Chain A
Amino acid sequence: MKVRRLLVAAASALLLLTPATAWAQQVAYAASAVAELDSATRAAVDRELGRARSRGLPVQPLVAKVREGQVKRAAPERIRTAVSALAARLDSARAALGPTSNAGEIVAGADAIATGVGMSTLRSVRAAAGVRDLSAPLGALAQLVASGVPARRATAMILELLKRDTGPRDLLAFGNAVESDVGAGVPAEESAVFRLRAIESQGIGADRLTVTAPGVDPTALSGRPGANTGGTTVKRKP
């Protein structure tokens, strides 16, 4: 009888192990990241990870945030705050984008929220995109807003591009081009309007044009990673 009980326990353990293998790998990955934290921070981070996991939120970005804090030698309190803030943003993004949104969309939504994009905006982008993946549109939106394009204007542009069925490739190029222009001294909104018009009227991919601000040597930009090269050079009037 005792042997039988042992066998039942062993069978149950084995059955439990099967689906838990992948989960265990995730836990091991997370554990390796939080291992170096002090006990109070580790407990707080573990709680956040557990809460995120139970709510079906992606855990990997939270673990990456811990690693980022560690590699930047941030104070434990700061790591704890950053992880909590990111968890809250992921939660808000999922609430706005809907329960069927995938991990990429939730992360992109959280990034957009971090730049100041509101939840109602995320909802309107979801409504405009339907079942299409939102990672690229939201990534581009976050990039535009972070570059200095007013959130309302940036949202209108992204919605316009979605209405035109612009693909993820062009959306990513649009965000990159505006950020690159702003880095070169072009005002954010001006660059965004120009890039958008180029996509709409000429069908030219945003990464095929070079915008140069006055006093900036275009050749100096070409060596920079992500800087646009080739294509037409349009110089802004002083």
Chain B
Amino acid sequence: MHDETDETIIRIAAALRPLPEVDPARKARVLVAVAAERERTRERRLRIARAWRVAAGTAAVAAAAFVAAVILGTPRRAAEVPASARSASMPARRDAESVAAAARLATDAKLGGFKTVQVVLRAPSARRVSVVGDFNAWDSGTDEMSRDPVTGLWSHTLALRPGRHVYAFVVDDSVWMRDPRSPEAADADFGRPGSVLLVGQP
């Protein structure tokens, strides 16, 4: 009896406790900053991975050249590459990379870049919730949602390109759940509809 009363009081208190007001503009700025930081981190990781690949490739070529030189007994050949050719080939490669990066940025700018979208799900008893969709290749390990301890709401902010996206939630690694607030996306392949997210311009 005591427990029940205490629980009721706690529930009433929780309901009456007002949430601090948040300036919507400030909240939007924070969401954009978070998404931008995620994008920066992703790009940093890609850059590091690329650097490792280049380093591994260079080391492999150097080692192969060294071994070939030892075998052929003509170590000078490797060094006989004209300096002009060496210096020309490296910047050319760098330029090619920067041109590719610039083209990518130009495409993004043309499409209006990314837009942040917050997805929310109420699942108080869930232990783990992920959002999956075409934007993360349906990988449930990529976009895990975080739970608000007070409300029990699960939320996650996605940085998406403008266009049409299909998504759903995966609860406790086993339960497929489409977003009831969004239009349904039919699924001819597997018969498990998702939800449609139409992302406009930022």
Interface of A is mostly: helix
> Contacts of A70 on B, CB cut-off 8 Å?
138
Partner among B112, B140, B163 whose Cβ is within 8 Å of the Cβ of A71: B140
CB distance from A29 to the nearest CB of B (A): 9
CB distance from B75 to the nearest CB of A (A): 14
Q: Is B53's CB within 8 Å of the partner chain A?
A: yes
**B120-156 interface (Cβ within 8 A of A):** 132, 134, 137-140
On whether the beta carbons of A7 and B71 are closer than 8 Å, the reply is: yes
Are A21 and B56 closer than 8 Å at their CB atoms? Answer: yes
Q: A224-B182, A225-B182 in contact; A72/B176 too (CB < 8 A)?
A: yes
Stretch in contact with the other chain, from B8-16, B29-37, B59-67, B80-88: B59-67
- Dominant SS among interface residues on chain B: mixed
Q: Give the interface segment out of A59-67, A92-100, A191-199.
A: A59-67
Number of A-B residue pairs having CB atoms within 8 Å of each other in the complex: 126
> Does B196 lie within 8 Å of A68, measured CB to CB?
no
Residues of B within 8 A of A176 (CB): 162-164, 198-200
Cβ contact within 8 Å between B190 and A172: no
Closest A residue, CB atoms, query B137: A64
Considering the complex, which residues of chain A in the window 13-48 have a beta carbon less than 8 Å from any beta carbon of chain B? 14-15, 17-19, 21-22
B164, A179: Cβ atoms closer than 8 Å: yes
Q: How far is the CB of B28 from chain A (nearest CB, A)?
A: 14
Given the known interface contacts A68-B190, A226-B197, the answer about A17 and B60 at a Cβ–Cβ threshold of 8 Å is yes
A155 and B53 alpha carbons, distance in the complex (Å): 44
Question: Would you call B163 and A8 a contact (CB within 8 A)?
Answer: no
**Residue numbers in B under 8 Å from A78 (CB-CB):** 189-190
Please, how many angstroms separate the alpha-carbon atoms of A73 and B198 in the complex?
A: 26
Is the CB–CB distance between A139 and B163 below 8 Å? yes
Is residue A216 contacting chain B, with contact meaning CB distance below 8 A?
Answer: no
- A-B pairs, top 9 by smallest CB distance, nearest first, are A226-B198, A82-B189, A64-B137, A11-B67, A68-B138, A67-B138, A14-B60, A74-B190, A72-B192
Q: Which residue in chain A gives the minimum CB-CB distance to B186?
A: A146
Instruction: Please indicate the chain B residues that have their CB under 8 angstroms from the CB of A82 in the complex.
Output: 189-190
B159 at the interface (CB under 8 A from A): no
User: Does A69 reach chain B (CB closer than 8 Å)?
Assistant: yes
